């Protein structure tokens, strides 16, 4: 996701700090991604651990 690029690869702390000051940083992108994940839950492997990892 483009909106995460300034915060470093696989690193969530700087994004979390920044979002506390500007909470809408990646809001649209994250919500869209979560909607896709929820919509596709029936298609995922029925391994509970994998589903939770995806969510």
Convert the pLDDT of each residue in 2-50 to its tens digit. Answer: 666 666 666 667 766 776 666 676 788 888 888 988 888 777 767 667 6
For residue range 34-47, list pLDDT tens digits in order: 898 888 877 776 76
With a pLDDT cut of 90, the percent of the chain lying above it is 2
At residue 42, the 3 state secondary structure works out as: helix
The number of distinct structural domains making up the chain is: 1
19 in a structural domain: no
The pLDDT of residue 20: 67
Q: What is the pTM of this model?
A: 0.51
The parent domain of residue 50 ranges over: 24-55
User: Domain for residue 41, yes or no?
Assistant: yes
Confirm whether 47 is domain-assigned: yes
Residue 45 makes CB contacts below 8 A (sequence gap 6+) with: 51
52 within a domain of the structure (yes/no): yes
Give me the chain's average pLDDT, please: 72
Nearest C-alpha neighbor of 7 from the set 34, 23, 25, 31: 25
Burial class (CB in 10 A: 0-12, 13-18, 19+), 30: middle
Across 1-55, the runs of DSSP E, i.e. the strands, are: none
In a domain, 34, yes or no: yes
């Amino acid at each position: 996701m483009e909106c995460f690029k300034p915060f470093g690869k696989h690193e969530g702390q700087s994004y979390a700090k920044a979002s506390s000051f500007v909470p809408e940083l990646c809001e649209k992108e994250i919500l869209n991604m979560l909607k896709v994940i929820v919509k596709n839950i029936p298609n995922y492997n029925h391994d509970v651990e994998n589903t939770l990892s995806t969510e």
